[in-house]
Amino acid sequence: MSSADQSGTRSLADRVAGRLLQATVLERLGIALASVTTAILIGLVIVAAAGYSPILFLNNLIVGALGSERILARTLRLSTFFILTGVAVAIAFRAGVFNIGVQGQFVVGGLFCTVSILWTAPFLPTGTVGGIGLMLIGTVAAAVGGGLYGALPGVLKAYADANEIITTIMLNFIAIGVVSWLLTNPLRAEGSTNVQTERLPDYVGLPPILFGDSSFSIIGLLLTLAVVAVVAIAMTRTGIGYDMVTSGYQAGAAVYSGVDAKRTIVATMTFSGAVAGLASAVYVIMFQGRFIEPASIHTYGYDAIAVSLLAANNPLGVLPAGLLFGGLNSSSSYIQTYSDVPVQLIDGIVGIVIVFVAAPELFRMAAKRAGLGGEDR
């Protein structure tokens, strides 16, 4: 290839990358909607090719997400966990740090939440007042546990130049293994054949307002929205948030302006892990009422990566992205129960949707990393 051809190809790559980087919020929303629609259409074609009715499948997909009050409660419950873990990932990704360890931070935070409630319950009064006190203690403990576990890979990256992708992935396995051992041995519920802790006191839990479903409370969703608002303000309207983003993408510029880039990277990972811990507190208090075998917990922390990518790592954008993933997972459970479509086919179609909605943001991040195009808006 001639130098002129290479220059032309480079120029085209710059223009394409620049367009990806400079996409507005509305354009990204349009890309996401188009991606979801295209992925679902491809999924319907696959269903038809496999010998099943695509119309019935589409109907079950909608009914499985919104078909009744009970189903809607399940969708919102799942969405709550996806939103909180998605925000945890978005905090790190937006600051240029790849936190792939949200699942491990979720597990550690959940254990801290459960144990702190069980251990302090005998010292507090029973009833509503005691329940609120225990929930506050458990929530703070979960945030501390998740934050400390998130700080560890942050310290390794900042002061030992360790790759945070590798360290966070490995710390996921460590968290799951250690917590599983604890639940199998010293923390196991007395007389239980399952790997789990004792159940939380009956007066500890969020009331099932509006939907009447004991596994979901609108209060949990409202608290989630409050966390999203706080994170969005902190990341975009405060000096700390600015320092986080600057330290992640332009460490040299951050140091030149007087910011301790290493300390800020640690703070970013701690903040991200703390939000993952908050997600596990809602999981334990609102849904499970105890802590169970980590291997049997849904992979919220891993799916949160796709949620954050779909939202362009914007905490506010995580809201619709989390709702989408909550609806898809709720529909998947419904279709497995009420249709003869194989579970492998359902999982494959959900996977196609995830790939399609995440691909545009993956290209955008790759372009930014390669130094192509213009500045992101």
Give per-residue pLDDT as tens, 97-128: 999 999 999 999 999 999 999 999 999 999 99
Assess if residue 27 is contained within a domain: no
According to the model, what pLDDT value does residue 251 have?
67
Instruction: Say which range, 71-80, 319-328, 359-368, has the weakest mean pLDDT.
Output: 359-368
Say whether pLDDT at 31 is over 60.
yes
Say whether pLDDT at 193 is over 80.
yes
Which residues form the domain of 203? 81-304
Assess if residue 127 is contained within a domain: yes
**pLDDT class for 2, splitting at 50, 70, 90?**
low
Assess if residue 158 is contained within a domain: yes
Assess if residue 52 is contained within a domain: no
**pLDDT class for 301, splitting at 50, 70, 90?**
very high
Say whether pLDDT at 17 is over 90.
no
Assess if residue 2 is contained within a domain: no
Assess if residue 245 is contained within a domain: yes
Say whether pLDDT at 34 is over 60.
yes
**pLDDT class for 74, splitting at 50, 70, 90?**
very high
Task: Give the residue, 79 or 346, on which the prediction is more confident.
Answer: 79
Q: How many structural domains comprise the chain?
A: 1
Task: Give the residue, 356 or 62, on which the prediction is more confident.
Answer: 62
Instruction: Say which amino acid occupies 56.
Output: L
Instruction: Say which range, 13-17, 164-168, 230-234, has the weakest mean pLDDT.
Output: 13-17
Say whether pLDDT at 18 is over 70.
no
According to the model, what pLDDT value does residue 20 have?
44
Assess if residue 144 is contained within a domain: yes
**pLDDT class for 257, splitting at 50, 70, 90?**
confident
Assess if residue 33 is contained within a domain: no
